Amino acid sequence: MIAKRFFGRKLYTGKAFQRAFCIDELREVARRAMPNFAFEYIEGGSEDERALHWNRAALDAIRMIPNTLVDTSARHQRISLFGKEINSPIILGPTGLNGMTRYRGDLALARAAAAAGIPFTLSTVSNMRLEDVAKAGGRLWMQLYVLRDRAAARDILSRAERAGYEAIVFTTDANVFGYREWDRRNYRAPGKLTLRNMFDVALHPRWALDVLSHGIPWFDNIVDFLPAEAKSARTGVAYFNQLFTHDISWEDVAWIRKAWPHKLLLKGVLSVQDAQRAAEAGCDGIILSNHGGRQLDVCVAPIEMLPQMVRAVGDRMAIIVDSGFRRGGDVVKAMALGASAVMLGRATLYGLAAGGEAGVSHAIQILMNEIDRTLGQAGCRSLADVHAGMLTGAPL
């Protein structure tokens, strides 16, 4: 509502993001900043978008019972993750095709994360090589899609190690690619926008100049493993169905574990049995995720599984949760339920679309301010003070 009142019919200007007070308002700026098909690529979920909506509903159902009359003058939100401190319990998650949101969007996200003192995760289907993104510094994680050609994954593992990445995040929930209907409606044929969308590009000259004047972005990390017709974002997305293999299995976890000597996390784990198996396979962490509602549409919200996971494997692995996080209060609720940290997808992408690197920093700052305020108002000095007993309506 607020977002509509303030941003409803205004035109996009490069500085509009600075006036956004919350992630929802940044989202409205992002919507104006780019053609509809590019915004819908970020925004959309699969099929009826039930999982997308349920992710929010499940978080909203949890409420907090604050403590009062606690001296909260010295507050902080730092946590320790894998033995090292980060400034806030948030991690920028992997998102593919960031180059369609902003030219060199991957680097902008990585730089903003490094400046904020939080980790950034680069997608396998990024539009920049992992070596170039490593120049951002900070704590870098590399997301791995094991594609039909396993050589692509082996190549990423060895390059990520040479470039100093701290962790591999093996995404397990894209064995069958999600059916995002908004996305499909925007194209007449693979790589061919509808006329309406072509007109829309013309209405967004700032975006077109930034993104398209450098040429359609390529999938730079895996380009050597793609056939000529799938190297660029124009046609590559339509090719994902063939690229993503249905046969990823625990055998892949075993060989990745052997090949990668640093931290290994599985992303897309939602059952307790799978979490236990991940621990037995020597993984260092799991990310409870339904890909932000972009894959299985009848999927449980990851936050619902968090307490069970903490009980089952919390003493053996880091448990990170994502999908639907838009406010600092959401993050504090997940931490109260025992999460090691929270991963973000769209929240910081809206910042990227709205204002490039400065927009991402703005999104991170909004969330950090909200986490700080939530802690103070709940009578907590740090995240060490929050616990499940402070919540009502939380999953068991």
Ligand X SMILES: Cc1cc2nc3c(=O)[nH]c(=O)nc-3n(C[C@H](O)[C@H](O)[C@H](O)COP(=O)(O)O)c2cc1C
Q: Active-site residue numbers?
A: 291
Site for ligand X in 69-108 (CB under 6 A): 93-96
For the bound state, the minimum distance from the C-beta of residue 364 to ligand X, rounded and expressed in Å, comes to: 13
Residue count at the site for ligand X (CB under 6 A)?
24
CB of 344 to ligand X, least distance (A): 5
Query: Which residue among 123, 186, 232, 235 contacts ligand X (CB under 6 A)?
Result: 123
Q: Shortest Cβ distance from residue 179 to ligand X (Å)?
A: 15
- Position of tokens 């992997």? 94
CB count within 10 Å of CB 228 equals 7
Nearer to ligand X, 96 or 138 (CB): 96
Structure tokens at 271: 């059952």
**Residue at shortest CB range from ligand X:** 345
* Minimum CB distance to ligand X, residue 148 (Å): 16
List the one residue from 323, 340, 361, 374 that touches ligand X (CB under 6 A): 323
* Token output for 140: 């870098």
The minimum distance between CB 302 and ligand X, in angstroms, equals 9
**189-248: contacts with ligand X (CB under 6 A):** none
Q: Closer to ligand X at the Cβ: 89 or 292?
A: 292
CB neighbours of 185 closer than 8 A, spacing ≥ 6? 194
Strand residue runs (E) in the chain: 63-64, 79-81, 84-86, 90-92, 120-122, 140-144, 167-171, 187-189, 192-193, 263-267, 285-288, 318-321, 341-344, 391-392
Contact 113, 92 (CB under 8 A): yes
Within 19-48, the residues that bind ligand X by CB under 6 A are 41-42
DSSP three-state, residue 80: strand
Token pair in block for residue 69: 């009359």
- Cα–Cα distance measured from residue 187 to residue 172, given in angstroms and rounded to the nearest whole number: 27
Q: Which of 143, 232, 340, 361 binds ligand X (CB under 6 A)?
A: 143
Residue 183 Cβ vs ligand X, minimum distance, rounded to whole Å:
10
Site for ligand X in 53-72 (CB under 6 A): 55
Selected from 147, 344, 363, 366, the binder of ligand X by CB under 6 A is 344
Least distance in Å: CB of 380 to ligand X?
Answer: 24
Q: HEC string of 255-277?
A: HHHHHCCCEEEEECCCCHHHHHH
- Whichever of 270 and 390 has its CB closer to ligand X, that residue is 270
Among the residue ranges 81-89, 153-161, 273-281, 339-347, the one whose residues contact ligand X (CB under 6 A): 339-347
The set of residues, in sequence order, having a beta carbon less than 8 Å from that of 276 and lying 6+ positions away, is 312, 313
* Residue 317, amino acid: M
Q: Report the distance separating Cα 389 and Cα 10, nearest Å.
A: 44
CB nearer ligand X, residue 211 or residue 390: 211
What lies within 8 Å, CB to CB, of 384 at 6+ separation is none
Angstrom distances, CA of residue 246 to CA of 146, 158, 183, 241, 254? 10, 24, 22, 9, 17
Letters for 155-194 (x = contact with ligand X by CB under 6 A, - = none) are: ----------------x-----------------------
Residue 267 binds ligand X, judged by CB under 6 A: yes
Out of 220, 322, 330, 357, point to the residue binding ligand X (CB under 6 A).
322
What is the identity of the amino acid at 250? W
Token pair 């700026």 is at which residue?
Answer: 29
Letters for 275-314 (x = contact with ligand X by CB under 6 A, - = none) are --------------x-xx-x--------------------
Which tokens is 86 given? 């980060």
Q: Among all chains, which residue has been given the structure tokens 């931490």?
A: 335
Give the interface with ligand X as residue ranges (CB under 6 A). Answer: 41-42, 55, 93-96, 123, 125, 143, 171, 267, 289, 291-292, 294, 322-325, 344-347
